[in-house]
């Protein structure tokens, strides 16, 4: 099987599992317990936090472990907006981009439904980018928070985060970025990026599902969403997932160590793959930004097919990919991300996303490109499946 769906999830890396193993077995203590087992777990958690902080260029106290990217996004959007509203009820707007993951978009809609916020959606251009002008146009004195993702999960477009964050900062508005897809590929130095909050998910990086991180700058107040024993400095109660935190920290450190080499290598492989697919499939269109894009994502529309049929045919040929984002899979409606890029519904229905981890090989991608050519030809011959 050639697995080209790494933006959905990745396997746990051996080094990550080995680092986690002690905390799932012999060193199984609760970090809040006052005995040696508990203290050993607390030390492991502190080490994992310090390691994540080093990767993000922040202080350990600014790192909150969560149950994944979705919770990190919820905590950032709802937690920061609610804390700001509590301090000043006039602050009642949130700004998100038109291509956010549902974890951000639905958090903003929740604030609208239950807490009296208005949601301002910043449009993107046809490549999926938010321009500083478009963001500047929607910022108001009442804006509680801006949330714009670092890199998009469906088309791979990378946002000009440093510029966008600077615009919000000039107006004293906290800026959150969902870096779930960017982690492992792009610089995550939170100081250089100038962001106030940033989300990461473990399972996109070779750690298990169900662990994530939210960085929140210390001066930014956050209302907790999960109440209880006050773990994670009161930001997120619940007994910590020690093994998950160790796994995420190990995976993040590993991916950062490999990043420089793999970024250039995988970008070159992706470019070859894109050219091979475009020449194998007449009429194919690459979606997203031509250059400001993740090394790991190539997504296309194949007019005259349905994305689902191409997906099935590719799987029959041993290539696994996605017809859009995993979260939207199975839904009949065209992807809101592709719609926001101005792609008509009938073309958006033909979208297929290929996404790679940093272990992808030239041989696999050459075989996959050939399979795409024959899969699209068969689906078209059957009349759009």
Residues 211-250 that bind ligand PLP (CB under 6 A): 212
Applying CB under 6 A, which of residues 201, 231, 309, 355 lies at the interface with ligand PLP?
Answer: 201
Under rule CB under 6 A, residue 69 binds ligand PLP: yes
Under rule CB under 6 A, residue 107 binds ligand PLP: no
Number of residues that bind ligand PLP (CB under 6 A): 15
List 58, 301, 321, 327, catalytic entry: 327
Under rule CB under 6 A, residue 70 binds ligand PLP: yes
Phi, psi of 92 (to 5 degrees): -145, 30
Under rule CB under 6 A, residue 364 binds ligand PLP: no
Asked if 327 is an active-site residue, the reply is yes
- In angstroms, the CA 329 to CA 241 distance is 29
- In angstroms, the CA 372 to CA 277 distance is 7
Phi, psi of 233 (to 5 degrees): 55, 35
Applying CB under 6 A, which of residues 68, 194, 206, 307 lies at the interface with ligand PLP?
Answer: 68
Q: Spell out the residues 6+ positions from residue 370 whose beta carbon is closer than 8 angstroms to its own.
A: 276, 280
Among the residue ranges 63-71, 155-163, 185-193, 268-276, the one whose residues contact ligand PLP (CB under 6 A): 63-71
Closest distance to ligand PLP from the beta carbon of 276 (Å): 25
Our CB check for ligand PLP shows the closer of 128 and 212 to be 212
Under rule CB under 6 A, residue 181 binds ligand PLP: yes
Q: Is 257:13 a contact under the CB 8 Å cutoff?
A: no
CA angle 286, 288, 293 (to 5 degrees): 110
Under rule CB under 6 A, residue 180 binds ligand PLP: yes
Instruction: Enumerate the H helices of 199-305 as residue ranges.
Output: 242-280
Q: Is 317:373 a contact under the CB 8 Å cutoff?
A: no
Closest distance to ligand PLP from the beta carbon of 148 (Å): 11
Q: Spell out the residues 6+ positions from residue 293 whose beta carbon is closer than 8 angstroms to its own.
A: 151, 155, 156, 157, 158
Q: Would you tell me which residues interact with ligand PLP (CB under 6 A)?
A: 68-70, 73, 101, 103, 149, 153, 178, 180-181, 201, 203, 212, 326
Give the residue numbers marked as catalytic: 327
């Amino acid at each position: 099987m050639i697995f080209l769906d790494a933006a959905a999830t990745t396997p746990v890396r051996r080094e990550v599992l080995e680092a986690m193993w002690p905390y799932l077995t012999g060193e199984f203590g609760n970090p809040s317990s006052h005995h040696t087992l508990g203290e050993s777990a607390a030390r492991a958690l502190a080490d994992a936090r310090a390691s994540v902080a080093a990767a993000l260029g922040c202080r350990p106290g600014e790192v909150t472990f969560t149950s994944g990217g979705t919770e990190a996004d919820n905590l950032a959007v709802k937690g920061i907006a609610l804390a700001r509203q509590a301090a000043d009820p006039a602050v009642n707007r949130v700004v998100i981009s038109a291509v956010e993951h549902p974890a951000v978009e639905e958090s903003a809609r929740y604030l609208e439904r239950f807490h009296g916020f208005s949601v301002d959606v910043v449009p993107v251009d046809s490549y999926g980018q938010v321009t500083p002008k478009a963001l500047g146009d929607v910022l108001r004195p009442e804006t509680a928070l801006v949330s714009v993702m670092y890199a998009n999960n469906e088309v791979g477009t990378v946002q000009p985060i440093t510029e966008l964050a600077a615009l919000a900062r000039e107006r004293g508005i906290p800026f959150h970025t969902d870096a779930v897809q960017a982690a492992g590929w792009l610089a995550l130095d939170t100081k250089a990026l100038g962001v106030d909050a940033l989300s990461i998910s473990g399972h996109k990086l070779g750690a298990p599902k169900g662990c994530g991180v939210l960085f929140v700058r210390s001066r930014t107040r956050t209302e907790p969403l999960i109440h209880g024993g006050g773990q994670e400095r009161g930001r997120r109660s619940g007994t910590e997932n020690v093994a998950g935190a160790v796994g995420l920290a190990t995976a993040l450190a590993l991916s950062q160590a490999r990043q420089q080499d793999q970024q250039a290598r995988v970008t070159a492989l992706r470019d070859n793959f894109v050219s091979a697919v475009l020449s194998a499939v007449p009429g194919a269109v690459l979606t997203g930004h031509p250059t400001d894009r993740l090394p790991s994502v190539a997504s296309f529309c194949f007019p005259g097919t349905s994305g689902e049929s191409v997906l099935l045919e590719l799987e029959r040929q041993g290539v696994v990919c996605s017809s859009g984002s995993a979260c939207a899979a199975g839904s009949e409606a065209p992807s809101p991300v592709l719609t926001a890029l101005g792609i008509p519904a009938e073309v958006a229905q033909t979208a297929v996303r290929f996404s790679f981890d940093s272990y992808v090989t030239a041989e696999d991608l050459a075989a996959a490109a050939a399979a795409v050519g024959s899969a699209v030809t068969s689906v078209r011959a059957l009349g759009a499946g």
